[in-house]
């Protein structure tokens, strides 16, 4: 069976992801849909497309055409239950410089000298709201050079020396969409002094995938944990101190809508930029996970082989190594590797595939998601379902129901015309 035919309320295990388009296949894997992952069909849109599924602790909306590329086995009635994380009380956020051990620490930018930030995050995580909070009316809109992708720049409030560029909303740094390529090239070529990565705290498992890739870019970085007010209001919590230690970068809980935590976020961002404080860790391999040891050896073997090329091309070594595993043509071209080196890299990757029992793209995605699952298990207490969400689901049963959606649409449109 393929995922597009799975009935509502059924669970199944992903057997394979097939696509002639390698970039699309990688995009699907980057969403967490890797072989061996259990998925639950939640609901279909009234016209049958798109569909909503649950996997790895979060909900994902998928186009039917993409779901048709995913083969399933072991279809059964759902037995999915909410993960029973031990409850953690909300803890005070550490002061500046505590809770994380970054690399660097020497003054790189003098007080008053210009600082450039890049704001990155998933779509619908509050990035635009945070950008408006950071800049107020001190912003302008244009395009990135050579492409019709929106670019917003602004000056940070109370910090006239600091500017921030709002990068397009993306889910990964894979070369699938123009937005992903633009964001990656801006960070690599323009080399902002620090990254501000905004995360939706209510959907932290999905958002951390981009965070790990940004950390691999080895730039000064701070994580803004947005919507923390919603998490706490619904009985959830995040051990921010432990999360900082696991990721190796400062994490600041904020509420962009209410303007809470914004000053502390700016303080941390300016600090890591001025002192060039790089992430405290770049290695997210889990040697004890499925195929983890093989992936670990593969990435580090490639990194040692390409280190001089990466430095010459000014591409972070760890980032370059993972992109070579993915077969990223942009990185392969930038590194200027000769045929013998490319053959050696291919041999290392093939050996990893043989040891791990899966293909290179699936192994790399599984490595990252295994680390994320461990982090969330240690640091996150999932909130219970809010009254607002329960009310929304109840309304959706009528407004998007299979038999009621079209009549409700016609009724609402008739009411609009009558009122007009």
Task: Record the tokens describing residue 11, joined without a space.
Answer: 């669970």
pTM comes to 0.83
Crossing angle of the two packed helices 317-326 and 360-379, in degrees rounded to 10: 130
Q: In this predicted structure, which of 65-69, 237-241, 278-282, 294-298 has the lowest mean pLDDT?
A: 278-282
Domain limits of the chain?
3-80, 115-274, 292-380, 388-420
Residue 305: CB partners within 8 Å, gap ≥ 6? 341, 344, 345, 348
Taking the C-alpha atoms of residue 229 and residue 250, their distance in angstroms, rounded to an integer, is 19
Share of the chain above pLDDT 90, in %: 37
Residue with tokens 């009411």: 415
How far is residue 199's CA from residue 204's CA, in Å, rounded to a whole number?
A: 7
CA angle, 367 then 67 then 79, to 5°: 70
- With a pLDDT cut of 70, the percent of the chain lying above it is 89
- The chain-wide mean pLDDT, for the chain, equals 85
Cβ-Cβ contacts under 8 Å for 312 (sequence gap 6 or more): 336
How does strand 237-238 pair with strand 221-226? Answer: unpaired
Task: Tell which CATH classification among 3.40.50.300, 1.10.287.1770, 3.30.565.10, 3.40.605.10 matches the domain 292-380.
Answer: 1.10.287.1770
- The CATH code that applies to domain 3-80 is 2.30.30.90
Report, as an integer, the average pLDDT of 262-269.
Answer: 92
**What residue has token string 């040697």?**
287
In angstroms, the CA 55 to CA 110 distance is 46
- The b/e string for 151-180 (b: 16+ C-beta within 10 A; e otherwise) is bbbbbbbebeebbbbbbbbbbbbbbbbebb
Q: Does pLDDT of 203 surpass 90?
A: no
Per-residue pLDDT tens digits for 6-30: 998 889 999 999 888 888 888 889 8
User: Rounded to 5 degrees, what are φ and ψ at 51?
Assistant: -130, 160
Query: What is the full DSSP assignment across 62-130?
Result: E-HHHHTTEEEEEEEE-------PPP----PPPPTT-S---B--S--S-TTS-EEEEEEE-TTSSHHHH
115-274 has the same fold as 3-80: no
Q: Check pLDDT > 80 for residue 143.
A: no
pLDDT of residue 130: 93
Tokens 């009621």 map to which residue?
A: 404
Give, in words, the CATH class of 115-274.
alpha beta
| pLDDT digits 0-9 by tens, 213-239 | 999 998 999 999 999 888 888 888 888
CA gap 378, 342 in Å, rounded:
39
**Comparing C-alpha atoms, which of 305, 293, 302 is closest to residue 325?**
302
Give the model's pLDDT for residue 212. 93
3-state helix, strand, coil in the chain (%, to 5): 45, 20, 35
Among the ranges given (65-69, 73-77, 173-177), the one the predictor scored with the smallest mean pLDDT: 173-177
Nearest partner of 266 among 191, 123, 160, judged by Cα: 160
- In this predicted structure, the answer to whether residue 182 has a pLDDT above a threshold of 80 is yes
- Residue 62's nearest CA partner among 3, 2, 146 is 3
């Amino acid at each position: 069976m393929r995922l597009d035919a799975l009935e509502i309320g059924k669970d199944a295990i992903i057997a394979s992801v097939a696509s002639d388009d390698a970039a699309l296949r990688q995009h699907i894997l980057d969403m967490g849909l890797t072989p061996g992952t259990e998925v639950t069909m939640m609901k279909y849109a009234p016209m049958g497309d798109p569909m909503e599924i649950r996997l790895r602790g979060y909900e994902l909306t998928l186009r039917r055409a993409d779901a048709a590329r995913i083969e399933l086995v072991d279809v059964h009635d759902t037995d999915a239950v909410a993960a029973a994380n031990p409850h953690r009380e909300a803890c005070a956020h550490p002061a500046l410089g505590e809770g994380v051990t970054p690399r660097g620490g020497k003054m790189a930018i003098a007080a008053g000298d210009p600082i450039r930030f890049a704001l990155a995050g998933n779509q619908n995580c509050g990035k635009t709201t945070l950008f408006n909070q950071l800049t107020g009316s001190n912003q302008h809109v244009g395009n990135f050079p050579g492409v019709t992708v929106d670019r917003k720049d602004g000056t940070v409030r109370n910090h006239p020396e600091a500017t921030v560029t709002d990068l397009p909303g993306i889910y990964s740094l894979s070369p699938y969409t123009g937005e992903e390529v633009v964001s990656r090239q801006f960070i690599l070529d323009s080399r902002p002094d620090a990254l501000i990565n905004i995360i939706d705290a209510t959907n932290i498992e999905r958002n951390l995938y981009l965070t790990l890739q940004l950390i691999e870019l080895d730039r000064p970085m701070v994580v803004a944990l947005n919507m923390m007010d919603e998490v706490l209001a619904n009985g959830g919590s995040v051990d921010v101190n432990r999360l900082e230690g696991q990721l190796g970068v400062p994490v600041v809980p904020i509420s962009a809508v209410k303007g809470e935590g914004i000053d502390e976020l700016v303080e941390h961002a300016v600090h890591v930029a001025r002192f060039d404080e790089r992430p405290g860790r770049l290695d997210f391999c889990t040697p004890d996970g499925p195929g983890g040891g093989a992936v670990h050896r593969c990435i580090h073997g490639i990194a040692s082989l390409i280190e001089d090329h990466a430095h010459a091309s000014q591409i972070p070594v760890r980032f370059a190594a993972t992109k070579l595993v993915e077969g990223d043509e942009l990185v392969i071209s930038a590194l200027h590797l000769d045929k013998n080196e490319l053959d050696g890299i291919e041999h290392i990757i093939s050996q990893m595939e043989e040891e791990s029992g899966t293909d290179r793209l699936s192994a790399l995605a599984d490595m990252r998601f295994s680390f994320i699952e461990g982090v969330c298990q240690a640091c996150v207490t999932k909130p219970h379902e809010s009254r607002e969400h329960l009310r929304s689901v109840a309304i959706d049963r009528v407004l998007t129901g299979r038999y009621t959606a079209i009549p409700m649409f016609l009724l609402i449109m008739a009411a609009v015309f009558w009122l007009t």
